[in-house]
Structures are given as C-alpha cells and as structure tokens.
Amino acid sequence: MEESIEAVHLTAEPQNVNPEYQGALDEIIHKFEIDKISAEEAIVGIKEVHDGFVGLYITSDLIEDITIQLNIYESGSDSTSHVLDKIHEIVKEAEATLAELESIEEEKVAKELPPNTVDMPVGAGVTGCEEHDACYTPTQLTVSVGTTVTWINSDGSIPHTVTAGWPDSDSIGLDYPGGNGFDSDFMSGGATFEHTFEVPGEYDYYCMLHPWMIGSVTVE
C-alpha cells in the first residue's frame, strides 16, 4: 500500500497553490526586504524550504516555477537580486490565485448532499482544509445502526482514501479495533465508496494519501 501511495504522489496532477510552501517563501523574502538577511542568505533559505517541500508534496505549478528560478541562479546566468525579484513575483501571483479561490469558495452556496453522504471537496488534497473542518464535508456524521454512508471524491482528479483509523494508528482499515472497519482503497475523482455501519460506536477515518484529512462517524 505504501508503495502505491508514493506512486500516486508522483503521478497526480500538479496543484496550482500550496499555502504552507508559499508562506514560508514569503517570510524569507520579507526578511530580505527589511534587511534582516542578505540576498545570498535569502536564496539559501528559499532553497532549503524548496528542497524540503519537493521531497514531501505533490509537485505544484508554484514549486516548478521556483525550481526554474533556482536553476537559473545556480547556473550563474542571472544576478541574485533579479532571481529574488522573480521569485517574489511568482509567490505574489500564487497568493493572488489562492485569495481568488478562497473568495470563490466563500461565495459558493453550501453543497446540498443526500442524507448520510460525505463529500471530499475541491482543495481537500491541500493542507489547510483541516483548519476549517473542510477536508471531509461534513467532518462529523451521526447515523443509526444499519445505515449505509456514502463518500464522494469531488476533488477534481486528486485521489483520496476513506480508511478507518488515524494516521498513527496501529490498526487501520479492515483491521480497525472493535470490528466494522472499512477501507475504500484509492478513489479517483468522481468515485464513490459505501460502508454500512452495523455496530454502534465512534468510527474515526482518514485519507492515507493526505493524512491531514480526518473525519468521524458516530453510530447510535
């Protein structure tokens, strides 16, 4: 399963924004602008942040654009200050894109779902949705014994899973403690997964590909 997860991370479509990544870059650039660090120190800091994110996250347009500028810097074909200016422009454009997307989301009327249905909305595959309980919608669902719950992956072409347990659990999926475990395996965009809850209790679940996505079902 872990090898498959890695393969999905490497082949999934690029995402346009990554708030955590661009925030880290913006902080370094700001320190340079107020003369707390030199241009060379800023480039070193940006490269360290960049290298860390390249190893941890699905490739994004922002990461690819920064990679190009760092390669230009390494080649010596442009000045340090000009490369920093270009990186700053790229980050600002990404921030504007993110702000526009957030504005659109705020204006949207809440999606009406059928009863006992959980949606994985657009953006669930990017860190930050957990801050607003918006990775699974609704994040918490209460149902009666014998109810079938349906999960829908509406997050574009980004795959997700619905796996019983927590990211650091010893027993997950079908091995969930207490029985009645479940595991959707990889759900491509538009896919659905159903599970019938026959036993009362609290059932936590998460996405194995994006572990910040956490939800729960209470069965009464």
Per-residue confidence (pLDDT) for residue 56, from 0 to 100: 61
- Integer-rounded Cα Rg, in Å, for the chain is 21
Each residue's pLDDT tens digit, 41-63: 999 998 888 887 776 655 677 78
98-108 burial: b if 16+ Cβ within 10 Å, else e: beeeeeeeeee
Q: Which of residues 192 and 63 earns the better pLDDT score?
A: 192
* 3-class secondary-structure state, position 24: helix
Q: What is the mean pLDDT of residues 11-15?
A: 38
Mean residue pLDDT across the chain: 82
For residue 2, pLDDT beyond 50: no
* Euclidean distance between CA atoms 59 and 12, whole angstroms: 8
Each residue's pLDDT tens digit, 103-155: 555 544 445 789 999 999 988 988 888 888 889 999 999 999 999 999 999 98
* Euclidean distance between CA atoms 152 and 140, whole angstroms: 15
